[in-house]
Amino acid sequence: MQSKICVLQVIPNLDVSGASQGCVDVANFLSEKNYNSYILTHSGPKSIEVKNSNEKVFFAPVNSKNPLKIFLNTIKIIKLIKKLNITIVHARSRAPAWSSYFACAVTGAKFITTFHGTYNFSNPLKKYYNSIMLKTNGTIAISEFINDHINNCYPIKNYNIRTIARGVDLDFFDPNNYETQQVELIIKEFNIDNDAIKILLAGRITGWKGHKLLLQAISNLHKKTSHKFEVIFVGPDENHKLKTSLKNFANEHNLAKSLHFVGPRNDLNNFYSLADLVISASTDPEAFGRISVEAQAMGKFVIASNHGGSVETVKDGETGYLFENNNSEDLCKKIIDAISNEKHKSDKTSEACISHVREKYSKIKMCEETINFYREVIN
């Protein structure tokens, strides 16, 4: 019966992260299917994307690791469970998972988590803190890579773990869904040479996302090919120290005029549309690799680090290339190979990318599998 599924998702913030997008997608899908769905979070711009957010989104400091606040959040969740007749609490991070765990123990609601990352640990105490994500009625791993990580690092075998890959919005990330006028404005605003090969790296400016690695590869490219390149970085860029370092590198290697820092954008589809190649150069393994999937959904050939979720989401040689992690020479070689084989111009390649994502990584598929898991846990 539908009335038995009433979900409270608990997440630190509704920001630009993949975890936040998945939370919003599941909440809206549940509402569309006439299930009761609520979110408890601290803050974040994506709260307005939740349908009927004034009634469906509640706020508390669930982003805090402070033990007192975790205790107070537990009381808040207990009250919400009783008031809203919640049957499932779905926590999407460790601190709120501890509050959710105790609240479910008191009320009898089912407790589910999503394991969104590798949650590195350096000592037994940190590992115990992480293990709350598995003290559940069911745990969702967002990729086989994360599932393997759980089994390797937390080797007790009686966990109820289900791999449910992240999904992307195929209506938004559709090769036909872009605004020609807006793309032209982007090219003009950032002074992008439209005749050059345009290389996009989307992601927050942070050390492990591989922005410098890509610039090193581009510097090598200029020595090995006569092609012109434009490098476009899209994503939050409040890390001013790293941004300055990247700009200095670009100046030292004559890349400054072809490097563009765009900042965060809501129209990423337009940037995928104008790009010739999309790079995922993360030096740490991506738990899933949402950017690679979004790019393929737009029909774009992807070149990604050969580790983490990208090994699953990119079909090497068909929808993209995988390069040796943290190796700018190999990244340079893969970019040259992609251009030489005209992967960025091939209709066949573009169709393979789109088909791959539509078959495996749609938002609807992710949401349906999540609801089915809810049903299994309740029953």
Helix (H) or strand (E) run with residue 195 in it = none
Q: What is the pLDDT of residues 93-135, one digit of tens each?
A: 999 999 999 999 999 999 999 999 998 888 889 999 999 999 9
> What pLDDT does residue 149 have?
93
Residue ranges per domain, the chain? 2-167+362-378, 180-360
Q: 180-360: what fold?
A: Rossmann fold (3.40.50)
Provide the 3-class DSSP secondary structure of residue 315.
Answer: coil
Q: What is the pLDDT of residues 64-96, one digit of tens each?
A: 999 999 999 999 999 999 999 999 999 999 999
Query: What average pLDDT does this structure show over 258-286?
Result: 96
Q: 2-167+362-378: what fold?
A: Rossmann fold (3.40.50)
Q: What is the pLDDT of residues 29-60, one digit of tens each?
A: 999 999 999 999 999 899 999 999 889 999 99
> Using a CB cutoff of 8 Å and minimum separation of 24, what contacts does 44-51 make?
44/13, 44/14, 44/15, 44/20, 45/14, 45/15, 45/16, 46/14, 46/15, 46/16, 46/20, 46/21, 47/14, 49/14, 49/24, 50/14, 50/24, 51/27
Q: Does the pLDDT value for residue 153 go beyond 60?
A: yes
**DSSP for 60-92?**
--TT---HHHHHHHHHHHHHHHHHHT--EEEE-
Q: Are 47 and 99 in contact (CB under 8 A)?
A: no
Least confident of 3-12, 193-202, 290-299: 3-12
Q: Does the pLDDT value for residue 2 go beyond 70?
A: no
The answer to whether domain 2-167+362-378 and domain 180-360 are alike in fold is yes
Q: Are 255 and 227 in contact (CB under 8 A)?
A: no
> What pLDDT does residue 182 have?
95
